[in-house]
Structure 1
């Protein structure tokens, strides 16, 4: 080695200067940041499109409930597919309208007595409190303050009324979207699902299809089980209400049935409303008895019906259910609390399947989904295919698949550049 030659400095391994734990933490950190950003973007998009997303989610639940009815009409009674879907949806509308009508009549008949009892009870309670604590002057002062605040906030009240009208319009639009989607989900669920799967890369279609099948089974099990549990709650609490407020027993039962679809929270709130109604109508003793009835029904539902009926179909720990309801209510209010648990159950099943754990191995993988772009019972599409040079034949294609890639130029004779 000559003096003109220089010795290169030794290379240092910079990765060795960083402890492995720090490198692992940094690797996990940027991945978690990306996942958090993706989840935040999805939630923001869902909130932006809530007028569409919520009706579609409601339509999915309604489709799960009405699918057995549509199958009986279509497969056993030989009713055409479209007509069976329409009859199923019309039957649901008739049942809901009938329940609302009965509940409205019961409320109208029982509200007068309940109002009289409530006013008399309130007057008696107020007279006792006024005689004891001298609240009449304070009440007069509070009423004057309330009137002054109402006069100062007239503009806000008017804007709030306009906002309520806009909300009612959004609810009406959402109901129409839900009914429209429910009909087509009942009419051609396989065609719609195959179209969605067909948008994915070819290598992912089959796994997504099988994961979606298992998610649909989970959603169906949850929905039907929740309907049965809600019916048991409504019947039990409604029977208890018959002995105290017979004229309001049916509205209370309907309210409990609807509220039971929100896990944990719905049953508590609706049960409390039933107890308060009995308290106003019949006093403390009847209210305590009604409270015992509500607690008994809810204990039977939570400790016997829920574990037995859900089984392995919706395997969510109670802690996961509570956290899902809390997160859903914080993110989207009542709507989030309603859809949090079924969404968590479906995601649990889908993610487990994609990671190699099949909760429903009996479904198998034989149901390969053809990627259809038309309805299952749509008429064939007439096409003119060339059998041989110079001869045209009319034929019909019954199923057009997105996976079928025609070979360009296969029918054109060689050497003919115009074809």
Structure 2
């Protein structure tokens, strides 16, 4: 055979890897498209899995202490609902009692901005300022159709949120009550030869997800308590609402707590001026440094074993694919995939034969 027509071994290997990578990328794209197509179902189920990972140990603990699992599941789910709606109620109460003062501060702040625009270095005349205000009014008044369409979109979004809430609620209940049975049914869908590895990989992924949720709750609580305490010390209003917002935002690792903490800086700026806002910003940055240099390496590095760079890339990819929800789900998904890949890699390594250590030579 003419050797001139032979494909170089490097090209052959590159081609083999290329078509496999293309197939994997195509399968991943189809999977992402399906998840986005059925996002009204998949997103609540994903949130239910996160809640289940947080609360399943409590259900198991109650069952070990002679409480029927059905009753234990009811107790845990109702307790989670009470905590959730209790937080919303406390935030609503604080908003209703302090929002009036905050409105007055906003009006005063707008007046100060107007005075600065006219008497400050920009030296804007009152006629120019009034012209801009009139243009803003005309823009708002000429967009009645868009406002109506946006109201309809908001109504649709509220309907989807309510439906998603009940899907997540019932999914979490059944995951807590008979998650092992549901997982057994999922494993039975795979070929018999692959079931053992699928089952072991699923348990590894679940342990990674549980560790991630626990670590994230600790990080979120630390961020919320630290920033809310700083806001309380500085006399910033809406302290409880700020703490709840930071706690929820911290579930988007690395950037969530900082972005939600900027809301505290904005409230401090509106309510008490630039110096308090500056001190509030310093407090937010200090809490973030504590998280980045103490909590993240200790918790995420040891419990979840995901590098911070991988977390940032996962968040960016999640934002591109599904926005805020994608950022919320991307990191636990990356943690699960990391655990499964390492588990399957360990299984594929051949076990070395045991060799007795050399002993003393016979006399």
Same fold (TM over 0.5): yes
The whole-number CA distance in structure 1 between the counterparts of 2:141 and 2:113 is: 30
What pairs up with 1:176-195 in 2 under 5 angstroms? 176-195=166-185
What corresponds to 2:22 in structure 1? 33
Does the aligned pair in 1 maintain the 2:236–2:268 contact within 8 Å? no
Q: For residues 346-389 of structure 1, what are the alpha-carbon distances to aligned partners after superposition, in whole Å with 9 as ceiling and x for unaligned? A: 0011112112269xxxxxxxxxxxxxxxxxxxxxxxxxxxxxxx
Cα deviation, residue 14, structure 1: 6.6
Contact 2:237 2:267 in 1 (8 A): no
Unaligned runs of 5+ in 1: 1-10, 359-419
Higher helix share: 2
SS at match of 2:251: coil
Pick from 31, 39, 43 the counterpart of residue 54 of structure 1: 43
C-alpha deviation, 1:245, in angstroms:
3.2
Contact 1:109 1:247 in 2 (8 A): no
| CA apart distance, 1:130 | 1.3
Q: Figure out how many residues of one structure are paired with residues of the other and give that number.
A: 346
SS in 2 for 1:356: helix
Alignment of 1:142-157 (within 5 A): 142-157=132-147
- Distance in 2 between residues matched to 1:79 and 1:206, nearest whole Å: 31
Question: CA separation in 2, counterparts of 1:287 and 1:122?
Answer: 16
How far did residue 276 of structure 1 move? Answer: 1.4
Matched, 1:237 2:220: no
Aligned residue runs from structure 1 range 82-121, under 5 A: 82-121=70-109
- Which whole-Å CA distance do the structure 2 matches of 1:14 and 1:181 have between them? 62
Structure 2: segments with no counterpart, 5+ residues: 349-363
Q: Which residue of 2 aligns with 1:210?
A: 200
Q: CA distance change for structure 1 residues 244 and 357 in 2, over 3 Å: closer, same or farther?
A: farther
1:281-320 alignment, distance < 5 Å: 281-320=271-310
| Matched residue, 2:359 | none
For residues 335 and 34 of structure 1, the distance between their equivalents in structure 2, rounded to whole angstroms, comes to 27
Change (3 A) 1:125 1:141: closer
Equivalent residue in structure 2 for 1:175, among 165, 169, 173: 165
Q: For 2:4 and 2:137, how far apart are their aligned partners in 1?
A: 73
Aligned match of 1:416:
none
Whether 2:201 is the aligned partner of 1:219: answer no
- Scaled by the length of structure 2, the TM-score of the pair is 0.91
CA RMSD of superposed structures (Å): 1.7
User: What is the rounded CA distance, in whole Å, between the counterparts of 2:58 and 2:235 in structure 1?
Assistant: 35
Which structure has the bigger radius of gyration? 1
Tell me, yes or no, if the aligned pair for 2:187 and 2:199 is still in contact at 8 Å. yes
Q: For each residue in 1:273-324, what CA deviation from the matched residue of structure 2 results, as whole angstroms up to 9, or x when unmatched?
A: 1111112212222222222211111111111122222343311111111111
Mapping of residues 366-385 of structure 1, within 5 Å = none
- TM score, norm. by length of structure 1: 0.79
**Deviation of 1:26 (Å):** 2.3
In 1, Cα distance between the equivalents of 2:308 and 2:241? 30
Q: CA deviation at 1:15?
A: 4.6
